[in-house]
Amino acid sequence: MLVVPLGLGMVQTGPAWVHLPLALVWILGYLAFYATGQWLRSHRKKRWFPPVRAYVLACIPPGLAVVVLRPDLLAWVPLFLPLLATSLVLHHRREDRSLLNDVVTVVAACLVLPVAHDAGLDTAAPGGWAATWIATALIAGYFIGTVPYVKTLIREKGSRPWYVGSVAFHVALCALPWLLATTTPAPFGPVPLTIFYAMLALRAALVPLRGATPRQVGIGEIVASVALTVLVVVEVL
């Protein structure tokens, strides 16, 4: 979820030097966010604060490097602030495992794709911004779908409402490539992506009935993430 959006944005417009500190501040920033969430969840107990301090301090050098190299990228910050604030409030309320928090976190992670696009060398790449937002929507659909799917295998295993909701979401997701292909100015072939989402729907329907270990779930998500990355690069970008 952290690597795929960043990598796709870099692929479309080509790697630039600013991508290196951007990647560092992105990964370290996530670790700082996670540590802060755990600290808030504990109601700010002192023993949870050292990781917060460490990761925030680690973010400063690469963050300053991004600002020096591309100060215009600061224009993206307001897009992330409401999502960050929402998630941290939910952590403070100990609702960090809620559906809302998971979706907010996924959306924030996927939005780094257009940021990485903007930081690239060739922002006039084929497909332009339209292709970038299509790619963002496609990967966001997949990663949002992992939220209910994984819950049906672990925390909400055996829950019929979660199972039905997961399958219904994945079935509806099959229409996303066609919707994007017919309503956006960047043409792409929706069939391969529709097949991919249909396979996800089949997985969402069958795997929870048989069960899977956390390790198997993790491996499955890695394989699906790689497959989606390849499809987006070939079909969209």
Segment among 11-15, 93-97, 134-138, 203-207 with least mean pLDDT? 11-15
| Percent of the chain's residues with pLDDT above 90 | 78
What would the mean pLDDT of 93-103 be, rounded to a whole number? 92
- Please determine, for residue 122, whether its predicted confidence score (pLDDT) is greater than 70: no
Q: Model-level pTM greater than 0.85?
A: yes
**Under 8 Å between Cβ of 138 and 228:** yes
What is the distance between the alpha carbons of residues 92 and 36, in angstroms, rounded to a whole number?
10
Cα gap 200→150, rounded to integer Å? 12
Kindly tell me the burial class for residue 171, based on how many C-beta atoms sit within 10 Å of its own C-beta (0-12, 13-18, 19 or more): middle
Provide the pLDDT confidence category of residue 125 given band limits of 50, 70 and 90: low
Q: Is the dihedral of CA 182, 187, 188, 189 positive or negative?
A: positive
> What is the residue type of 136?
T
Lowest mean pLDDT among 37-41, 125-129, 132-136, 143-147: 125-129
pLDDT on residue 115:
95
Tokens of 136: 């963002």
